[in-house]
Each structure stands twice: as structure tokens, then as C-alpha cells.
Structure 1
Amino acid sequence: MRNFFKIFFACLLALVIFTIVAFFFFLAALGGLSKKERPVVTANSVLVLDLSQHFSEQLQRDPLGFFSSDNRDVPGLYDMVRLIREAKTDANIEGLYIIANGNSNSYAASEEIRNAIQDFKTARKFVIAHGDIITQNAYSVANIADKIYVSPAGMLDWSGYSVEYLFLKGTLDKLEIEPQIFYAGKFKSATEPLRSDRMTEANKLQTTVWLSDLYADLLMKTAEARKVDTATLHQLANDGTIQTAKDATEYKLVDGIKYDDEVKDEIKSHLNLGKYEKINFITASTYLAAGAIRDVKGEKIALIYAEGDIVDGRADQGTIGSENYRTLIRKARLDKSVKAIVFRVNSGGGSSLASENIWRELSLAKKEKPVVVSFGDVAASGGYYISCGADSIFALPTTITGSIGVFGIVPNLQNFFKNKAGITFDGVKTGPYADAGAAYRPLEENEKRMMQASVDLIYTQFKQRVSEGRKMDTAYVDSIAQGRVWTGRRAKEIGLIDRFGGLNDAIQCAGRMAKLESYRVSEYPEPQTFMEQIFGENRDPMNYAGKMKAEIGEDNYVIFQELKRVREMSKGTQARMPFRFVVR
């Protein structure tokens, strides 16, 4: 026994010593790798914009990036716009190369990038775009280029826009699940997939309007860039004329048919490089790591990003938790060094209670310093709720906004449990409403009236917030509310936003309102530490979502997401825009 303990404690001591030594070796390696040299942008460089790269609102750091010599941090959208603007005046950047093999960014984000490229062109630096198969969303950005080319065996998609909705009523019927639905606003179509097998007339109307607005925007910008009238462009799509790369060239949608190597040769000619000389392409990640975006001194403007679903309590990054954002906004409000707040919203909404709590904190901040809101791709329902009290609201014509309405869902699974799973429930209660909302039984008529009354009350409160914030008559607010979705272009006409512009325009406005001669922007939420990125809640180090999408396919993954949203929507009264749609 004595020998056993001797060996046991010797092994334990060795393990402790090994762990300590390994830990310090890890710290040393971490410190050495984190000091890797900053890349340098040399003369005759070309900035590369790959539209297939998704630019979230904030910088996406690669937690293991320091183990690689490559720069793998992905700039945020605001970073990307600033990088293009910096490249405009950077003497080492001679031009911009756009890879247009698809576009992972939505309409408003794409518009911000396109506007930055348009400004870049005023420096008389070349902009060349190329793609093998150029989607319409990629083309909406790439058509601003001086020259746009498509591969000989490739194509340009020019067929117009369509939108697809997923309906689950038939599935629920087969499972004998009854979604007990309560909503306010005739256009509030977020519950349609659960209560119908097709679009209602009201939803068809609103969808037709906003989709036509997005399509008209594409036609107008293409007409201006390619010098082809909108009627001709519309007819080309209706007739299905553009089927090959040759068709796209013949009808002047692209400038020519070229392989990748031929495009690179053209870029070399712009740079006066020889046949065997290498083009110094600089990715957005490398340009960011090189310090292209410089720190500016001056007073502080707090830039708070709010991206994702709005939920109650605390939440991880990528979701707007009411507790997290109350804390962030309050911190900016009470910080005397912060002279103005810019609130960047990219959200289709969520919990009505969480939206009210965030609205309250912003309304308090507005009393002490300027509050300017900038809308991203989507700022609808709860996303609009939290924003409507700002001093000024900026959006782009292609932003999806409005959807002022609420709903609630209480699932009745009684028949599913009994007939499909063979499960029954029984119990006792101290009052008639003690088990109200339980999934194992249907709501009684009085409970239904109470639920609808609650939804109506929250809807009235929502409209009141809009009325006060936008200085509108409540009757007028009701006429433009009803859960209806609007594009930014129409939102400006009806008074839901103040100005067209991107995030940079909103920041400049905040600076003017605070009467600042110079300012620096502090971004929140602050970037996560290495340990938070690796071990934080809801991390997906194995990229299960990406693997699932690859395994079951993009369309099936959308169905999976919708089923998850059905579960989310039953968590209290929701101020959420219509269910996710796919625009093709």
C-alpha cells in the first residue's frame, strides 16, 4: 500500500509540473505568435473585394488566427466601407478588383459597398470585376465597375427577382398540432406559415410592393451604369434573353468575355507589369491588418451595433439581449466622454418586452446626448420599435423596415401527445388559469380573449412609441402600421425614417449634432477576448451549422431554420417581422 501511494503521488506531482510547464510554453508561443509582423502595403497594389465574403456588422476575428501567417479576420461592413474609402487616397493602391462569383451580402449592405466603390472611382483608379457565374445580387454591386467580364463558359443571371415563402400548416395538420395564434395588424404575416398553406392577399400585396421596389432599384442602377434603359432591361429579364456569356455581352450587360488569366493580364497592363511579374493583390483582411484604418483623435462617439434577434435577458453576441443592450446604452449615456450615440440596427425583431426595455434605455440617453440610428439590411418590427425614439434615423432605399405589429403563439399539442405519442396529462390546480398556456391542452375561450387583449395592448403601445418618436398622429401611424413591411425608399416617403445614408453618414450626423470638430468612434459590444471566443457560450468551434448546411443542402437548411423559429415564436408576445424569405 505504501508503494502504491508513493507511485500515485509521484505521478500526480509529475502531472502538475507538466501542466504548469505546458501552460507557460503555451503562453510563450501565444505571445510570440501574437507579435507577428504587420503586413505592409507596397506600391502598385490592387485591393481585392470578394463579394462571396459575408461582411457582418462587426469585425469577425478568427480565434486561431495567430497560429496562421495569413490574415483571416473578416472586416465588418463599416470596416469594409472605410477600407475602400481609404484605398481611394492611398498612393500604394492603384485599383480595385471585384470577384463577382456570387454575393453573400443582402441588399442594403451591398448598396453601402457599391456607394463606396462609386466614391472610389472619383480618384480615377481602375475598377475591374470578373465572375464565372455572376448572380443578380453580385451584379448589383459589380455593375458599377469600369469593366465587368464573365468567363466564356460562365453566365450572368438576369431573370428578375422572385421571393419564396415556406408554409408549415400542412406539416402541423399531419402532426395534429394546433398553433393558437393571436396577432394585431392585417399585414402581420409572421404567423402565416402556421395558419395557412399560401399567402394571404394582404401579404401578396405588401410583398409585391417591396420586392418591386428592390427590383426597380436594380434596374435603375444598372441602367445608369450600363447606359441601357430600364424598359429594355426589364424586357430582357421577362423574355429570358440572357442565357449565355455571349448574350450578356451582346446586350451590353458586361463588357466582354474573358478567362481569369486574361483579366489578370489586363490588370497588369494598368500596372505596367511585365508578363512574368506578379500582381500584388491585397485582400480586405490584409489591408485591415496593415493598419489602413487609422485611429482618429477627438471627442468620443459611441457606436453600438445591434444585430440579430431581440431576446429577453442576457444573450451571446449575434443576438440582441435586452440586459446586454440596456447595460451598453446606459454605459454610453452615463459616460461623460461620450458626446453622442449611434445605434446601428440590423434586426427583424423578436421579443416585444425586450424591445420595450431597449427602447426605454435609448429614450433616456436621448435626453442627455444626440442619438442617431442607422438601419442596416433589416430594421423591422422589434428592430423598428427599439429605434423609433431616436433624434434621427438613417436607412438606405433597399433597407427592409416597418412591420409595426405584434403576435403571440400558444401551441396546443394535446392531440399530438395523445394520438401520435400515446401521452396523456392529468393534475390539479388552485385556480382556473393556473395552467394557462400549457401545451398539453387547448386554450379556453376566456383565455383566448385574454391573450388577444394582451396582444392588442402591446400593439397600441408600439404605435404610441412610434407616434411620440416620429411626432406623428396615432391614427396616421395606424394607417402605415398594421404589420406592413416597407422598403427604405417608401419608409422615407411616409415618415418612418429621416434620411437616406449608410452608417458613415449617421456617424457624421451625430458629430454635427454634438457640435464636434473632430471625433473618434468607439465600437460596442467590445471584441471578445481569445478565451471568450474559444470557450464562450453558444460557440460552434466545429462549425456544425456549416456542416449541416453542406450535408442537407441550402434549401433544406432553410426549412430546418423555420422549424426552429416556430419554437422561438411561442416564447411570449413577439414584435417580429414576417418569417424569413428567400429572394432569388
Structure 2
Amino acid sequence: MKQFFKFVFATVVGIIISTVIFGVVFVLIIVGLVSAAGSDKTVDVDSNSILHVKIDYQINERTANNPLAGIGFLGFDGEKSLGLNDILASIKKAKDDNNIKGIFLDESYMMQGQATTEELRNALLDFKKSGKFVVAYSEIYTQGFYYLASVADKVYLNPKGIIEFKGFSSDVTFLKGALDKLGIEAQIIKVGTYKSAVEPYFLTKMSDANREQVTSYLGSMYDHFLIGISKSRHINKDSLFNYANTGRIQEPEDALKYKLVDGLKYKDEILSDLKNRTDINEKDDLHSVELGEYLKSSPKDDGKEDDDDKKSYSKNRIAVIYASGEISGGDGDDNSIGSEKISRAIRKARTDDKIKAIVLRVNSPGGSSLASDVIWREVMLTKKVKPIIVSMGDVAASGGYYIACAADSIFAEPNTITGSIGIFAVLPNMQKFFNDKLGVTFDGVKTGKYADLGDVSRPLTPEERAMLQKSVNRGYDTFTKAVADGRKKTQAYINSIGQGRVWTGQQALKIGLVDRLGNISDAVASAAKKANLKDYQLVSYPEQKSVLSKLGQGFSAQMSAHLVKAELGENYKYYQQIKGVTQMMRTPQARMPYEVVIR
């Protein structure tokens, strides 16, 4: 009886504690929502102001619908960050705002891909056409941030700071040795000489074909990087290559000597310079506005109706559908592509008579080949009734290219990663792991020869392997035919440039996988032209879920992921890679070889 009362007491205490915790959570949510509602008021921008651009977070395609951002929620999901859409919109708005005299590009850590950086860089170049200044400063310039900052009128480095200028590298983590120690064999079924996503599971180093393709696209990206800096800094491209190749840039003085920067200054000196540029007294505070706040500023009112004003009143609409993340079945979330969610968004835009054209923004390394085909079908149906243009982000490869290939036209940045037209499947054979490592054996009964096909406790038979290979071959044939039809090429030609090979946007343009080099604004302009629109509004799909629905549907999963990421830090990417293995074992995959990390 004593034990019974102990358990009852413990249960009651547990319920009380849980109630208190959820009560606190609820109060924090309400406080966050109230604070967010209060923060929606219009922000006034002082005259002679600068737009303060500091990007120290991962940039997603669009700003998350999260009123708790910036407030914090038990240390979870409180990061305040803007999406690429709002950052670009702010820079464009500042170009024509008479109160904004220039941009201060402050210490930023470019954690996103090369194409996102390219879009930001082009936005700054466009901003400079107004005659306004851009000043950049940092204590540490990563290569990504330096590429962005190189467009500035003046680039300053802290006198004791660091500037990285060493060239690009890309590496792969191979797991075969670990799998061998565990007694696990990765059974690979694939099509494509260059389809190297599966190499980490059965090789210990790059294949010759993979090394060839990585050398090619990495070289293309680096060449574009050097050309951009060469034009902005007026330094010979070969000289820049030599500086990096010989390790010439080691100290801040080296960066100044070789004209990578315009001066070595401390932050207080930069602030004084900005005050001088904006006619602010040295004793007064600098007039500046943050990116997030600037979005809330009232639009300029000069008494004239411009093109943006006309667009805001137009009944015509262009839908921008964001497809970002890995591709899988179901609804997915804001950071992944669920075939049901994206298909539904395309279908909704297609059947809406107010929407005259669609821009499909693709930023995806691919994923499930079946889910990719489901989305491709909706693009095909849409193409028959209204223009659909694709804008590629950092990566639109494998399944990401599959869902794009049927569009009327495809835009990519020069350093977008694309192609990777190929299919593969992975099935583990864990017999030795179970038998030798764990001492576990299995036995059973089946009603047919192939009833237990896919059982990981034994190896595939030759007949089973042949069946799976036939399925993957069929998937590759479907993929290449879809690309051939969409790009108006022969299937034999697509096969010759396919085979899982990865290309940059610059290379893809030359071989016909994309139509033009350009950003999302160029894609929107193309969609408007194809639909014969002069005035239009932009609408975004799919609809973003509210923070409350996110917490209700997957709070525990989000919290778990947050805690794991916080604990593992930079090693979180290896955890994701291992976790991804299980996902690849479910269905044939149209997926990039691996995550491309430029160091």
C-alpha cells in the first residue's frame, strides 16, 4: 500500500509540474503574440539615415511566419531572421527612399549557398545605381562575405582582423569503414556514372568520375567568384588567383597591400565615417535602421504614382511558389518540399483566374523520385493553361531539377548547383551486424518467393537485385524523358549530359538545361512578359503555417531537433547525414550526391 501511495503521489506531482510548464509556455506564447502585434506599427525613418545590413543567420527563401522570433521561447525558435524575399525587398525599397543615404554592410557570416549570396550581391549593385554609397566593415571576412562586400564603395577591415582568401574546397564524409566495422553492407542500385550520392556507403574515397565532376563545377564556381571580385575591385583575375594559391593574404596589412580592402579601421572610425557621409554631427547618434525594422517603414509619398503603386492596385496576380528543401511525400514543412503541399499550391494557382502566371522558386537537392514526379505532373498541367517560370536558388538538382524541367523557361544564377539527372536506391544488408555483433538470428515463413523483399536481415538475391535495378532503370528513363520533353531535346542527348552529373548554372546554360542566367526578379519579369502583364501583384504560396499550428503539430519533434543541434554544434551535419541514410532506404531517390559545402 505504501508503494501504491508513492506512485500516486509521484503521478500527481508529475501532473502538477507538467501543468505549470505548459501554463508558462502558454503565457510566453500569448506575450509573444501580443508583443508581435504591437511591433507591427509603422516605423518612421529619419532623414539622412543608413540601412544597416547585418546577416549573421541562415537565410531561408522567405521570412518565417513566427511572431515569437526575437523574443525567445524557452531558448527555442527565438532567432529573428529575414528571408531572402524580404532582404531583397528592403534593399530595393531603400534604393528609391530619399531618407536612406546609403547601406552599411556590417559583419556578416554568409552561411548560405553561393547563389543566395549572388542575389544579395546583385541587389547591392542595383542599389548603387542610385548614386548612394555602400560601405562594408568586418573583423573577420569569410570568403562568402568578402565576395558580397567586394561590391562596396569602401571595404574596411579591423586592424587586427582576419580575411580568408584561399580558394574553394569541397569534401565528402565516407561511412564505409564505419559500416564495415558494424557488419553492415550498403547494397547499391543506381543509374548514372556520376550519381555519387551513394559513394560514401561503399567507397572510402571519391571515384574518378565524381572527382572529375566536382573539379569541374567547383572550378566553374571559383572562376565566377574571382571574376566578380576582379570587376568590383579592379584587380586582375590572375593576380587574385595567385594571391590565394600562394597564401599571400595572411595579415590585415596584406589585404591592404594587395588592394582587397581600402583601409584598416576600428568600428568607431567606421561610425565616424558614416556620420560624415550622412552629414551627422560627430557628437550626435548615427541615424540608422535595421533591415527588419525598415520593412515596417511607411512607403515614400512624393505625390507621384510609380510602377510599384500601379502594381499594388492591380487585379492581375503572379504567384510565387516556394519549393525549398528535400523532396518527400506528404505535406512537409517550411523547410522541406512535401509533394502534396507543393502540388496543392500549384493546382490552386493554376485554377485561380486572377493569377495570370506562376514563378516556381526551386531550392532543393532533390529527394524521393516518386514525390518529384507528382510535382512535375502539376507543372506540366499548369504549362498548358498559363505561363510557369522556374527560378533556381542555391541548388536545384536531381529531384529539384525534375520538378523544374517542364516549365516554360528556367532561370539560374551562374553559381547555382543543378543537373544531377539520375536515380538510385540503397538497401542495407545487416545480416553480419545482427548475427556477429549482436548474436541475433531470424527465421520465419513466407507465402511467396519475394514476400520478404527488402528485409534488411539478409542480402539481396541476384533475382531481387535485378528486379530493383529494373525499377531504378525505369525511373531513370522516366526522368530523362521528362527532361527531354521539357527542354525539347532528344532523350539520347539528355542521357549524355545526365548520368547523375552535377553542373553549375553557367555550365547548364551552355548545355541547354537552363534558359537564362538571372535572379528571381528576372524570372518574375519574364513571367509578366509571357502573360502580357504590365501591372500585377505578387502573391506567395504555399501558405505558411502559424507558430501556434507548428507548436500544436510538432512541438516535441522541433524541441528534440533543437536540443540535438545545440548539443552537437557543427557535428550536427554528420547526425543529419546518418539520419538521411534511413530516409534513402524507403524509395528510389533523385537526390544530389551530397551537400556541397564551399570552404
Q: TM-score w.r.t. structure 2 length?
A: 0.90
Instruction: Tell me the distance in 1 between the aligned counterparts of 2:29 and 2:501.
Output: 55
| Paired position in structure 2 for 1:34 | 37
| Paired position in structure 1 for 2:304 | none
Instruction: Tell me the distance in 1 between the aligned counterparts of 2:28 and 2:93.
Output: 39
Instruction: Tell me the distance in 2 between the aligned counterparts of 1:25 and 1:424.
Output: 51
| Paired position in structure 1 for 2:16 | none
Of 253, 257, 260, 1:253 maps to 260
Equivalent runs, 1:51-66 vs 2, <5 Å:
51-65=55-69
Whether the 8 Å CA contact 1:46–1:96 is kept in 2: the answer is yes
Structure 2 gap ranges (5+): 1-21, 73-77, 300-307
| Paired position in structure 1 for 2:422 | 405
Letter in 1 for 2:54: D
Residue 27 and residue 101 in structure 1: after superposition, are their counterparts in 2 closer, same or farther (change >3 A)?
A: closer
| Paired position in structure 2 for 1:297 | 313
Whether the 8 Å CA contact 1:366–1:390 is kept in 2: the answer is yes
Of 39, 47, 68, 1:43 maps to 47
Q: Does 1:91 align with 2:108?
A: no
Whether the 8 Å CA contact 2:36–2:67 is kept in 1: the answer is no
Give the Å deviation of 1:76.
Answer: 1.7
Letter in 2 for 1:581: V
Letter in 1 for 2:313: K
Give the Å deviation of 1:212.
Answer: 0.6
Instruction: Tell me the distance in 1 between the aligned counterparts of 2:557 and 2:519.
Output: 31
Give the Å deviation of 1:314.
Answer: 2.5
Equivalent runs, 1:146-545 vs 2, <5 Å:
146-290=153-297, 296-298=312-314, 299-537=316-554, 542=559, 545=561
Letter in 2 for 1:366: K
Per-residue deviation, residues 194-230 of structure 1 (Å, max 9, x unmatched): 0100000000000001101111111111111111101
Of 82, 89, 96, 1:82 maps to 89
Letter in 2 for 1:410: L
Residue 167 and residue 533 in structure 1: after superposition, are their counterparts in 2 closer, same or farther (change >3 A)?
A: same
Letter in 2 for 1:399: T
- Please give the secondary structure, in 2, of the residue aligned with 1:153: strand
Whether the 8 Å CA contact 2:47–2:100 is kept in 1: the answer is yes
Whether the 8 Å CA contact 1:100–1:139 is kept in 2: the answer is no
Instruction: Tell me the distance in 2 between the aligned counterparts of 1:322 and 1:88.
Output: 38
Give the Å deviation of 1:81.
Answer: 1.3
Whether the 8 Å CA contact 1:407–1:455 is kept in 2: the answer is yes
Letter in 2 for 1:55: I
Give the Å deviation of 1:51.
Answer: 3.2
Letter in 2 for 1:558: K
Per-residue deviation, residues 4-25 of structure 1 (Å, max 9, x unmatched): xxxxxxxxxxxxxxx99x9999
Give the Å deviation of 1:104.
Answer: 1.9
| Paired position in structure 1 for 2:580 | 565
Whether the 8 Å CA contact 2:32–2:67 is kept in 1: the answer is no
Instruction: Tell me the distance in 2 between the aligned counterparts of 1:24 and 1:233.
Output: 56
- Please give the secondary structure, in 2, of the residue aligned with 1:116: helix
Structure 1 gap ranges (5+): 1-18
Give the Å deviation of 1:566.
Answer: 1.2
Instruction: Tell me the distance in 2 between the aligned counterparts of 1:180 and 1:246.
Output: 54
| Paired position in structure 1 for 2:302 | none
Instruction: Tell me the distance in 2 between the aligned counterparts of 1:370 and 1:350.
Output: 26
Letter in 1 for 2:578: L
Whether the 8 Å CA contact 1:316–1:538 is kept in 2: the answer is no
Whether the 8 Å CA contact 1:110–1:141 is kept in 2: the answer is yes
Whether the 8 Å CA contact 1:169–1:197 is kept in 2: the answer is yes
- Please give the secondary structure, in 2, of the residue aligned with 1:163: coil
Give the Å deviation of 1:583.
Answer: 1.7
Whether the 8 Å CA contact 1:109–1:377 is kept in 2: the answer is yes
Whether the 8 Å CA contact 1:340–1:511 is kept in 2: the answer is yes
Residue 494 and residue 539 in structure 1: after superposition, are their counterparts in 2 closer, same or farther (change >3 A)?
A: farther
Per-residue deviation, residues 130-152 of structure 1 (Å, max 9, x unmatched): 11010101111000000001111
Whether the 8 Å CA contact 1:562–1:580 is kept in 2: the answer is no
Length, aligned pairs only: 562
Instruction: Tell me the distance in 1 between the aligned counterparts of 2:504 and 2:160.
Output: 36
Instruction: Tell me the distance in 2 between the aligned counterparts of 1:327 and 1:391.
Output: 20
Instruction: Tell me the distance in 2 between the aligned counterparts of 1:27 and 1:431.
Output: 58
Per-residue deviation, residues 224-266 of structure 1 (Å, max 9, x unmatched): 1111101111111111010011100000000010011111111
Residue 432 and residue 538 in structure 1: after superposition, are their counterparts in 2 closer, same or farther (change >3 A)?
A: farther
Instruction: Tell me the distance in 2 between the aligned counterparts of 1:489 and 1:233.
Output: 21
Give the Å deviation of 1:325.
Answer: 1.4
- Please give the secondary structure, in 1, of the residue aligned with 2:98: coil
- Please give the secondary structure, in 1, of the residue aligned with 2:181: helix
Instruction: Tell me the distance in 1 between the aligned counterparts of 2:405 and 2:347.
Output: 18
Instruction: Tell me the distance in 1 between the aligned counterparts of 2:581 and 2:558.
Output: 26
Give the Å deviation of 1:62.
Answer: 3.2
Per-residue deviation, residues 298-319 of structure 1 (Å, max 9, x unmatched): 2011110000000012322211
Residue 212 and residue 23 in structure 1: after superposition, are their counterparts in 2 closer, same or farther (change >3 A)?
A: closer
Per-residue deviation, residues 34-65 of structure 1 (Å, max 9, x unmatched): 14432222212111111323221111233325
Instruction: Tell me the distance in 2 between the aligned counterparts of 1:61 and 1:24.
Output: 19
Per-residue deviation, residues 517-571 of structure 1 (Å, max 9, x unmatched): 20001101223224224323367664x54554454341x2222121111111111
- Please give the secondary structure, in 2, of the residue aligned with 1:129: strand
Instruction: Tell me the distance in 1 between the aligned counterparts of 2:28 and 2:453.
Output: 58
Instruction: Tell me the distance in 1 between the aligned counterparts of 2:28 and 2:169.
Output: 56
Instruction: Tell me the distance in 2 between the aligned counterparts of 1:310 and 1:486.
Output: 20
RMSD: 2.4
- More off after superposition, 296-305 vs 246-255: 296-305
Instruction: Tell me the distance in 1 between the aligned counterparts of 2:505 and 2:382.
Output: 25
Whether the 8 Å CA contact 1:148–1:254 is kept in 2: the answer is yes
Q: Does 1:574 align with 2:565?
A: no
Whether the 8 Å CA contact 2:357–2:531 is kept in 1: the answer is yes
Whether the 8 Å CA contact 1:51–1:138 is kept in 2: the answer is no
- Please give the secondary structure, in 1, of the residue aligned with 2:551: helix
- More off after superposition, 236-245 vs 544-553: 544-553
Give the Å deviation of 1:29.
Answer: 9.3
Of 126, 140, 143, 1:133 maps to 140
Give the Å deviation of 1:383.
Answer: 0.2
- Please give the secondary structure, in 1, of the residue aligned with 2:129: helix
Residue 161 and residue 29 in structure 1: after superposition, are their counterparts in 2 closer, same or farther (change >3 A)?
A: closer
| Paired position in structure 1 for 2:3 | none
- Please give the secondary structure, in 2, of the residue aligned with 1:152: strand
Residue 498 and residue 273 in structure 1: after superposition, are their counterparts in 2 closer, same or farther (change >3 A)?
A: same
- Please give the secondary structure, in 1, of the residue aligned with 2:380: helix
Instruction: Tell me the distance in 1 between the aligned counterparts of 2:226 and 2:28.
Output: 59
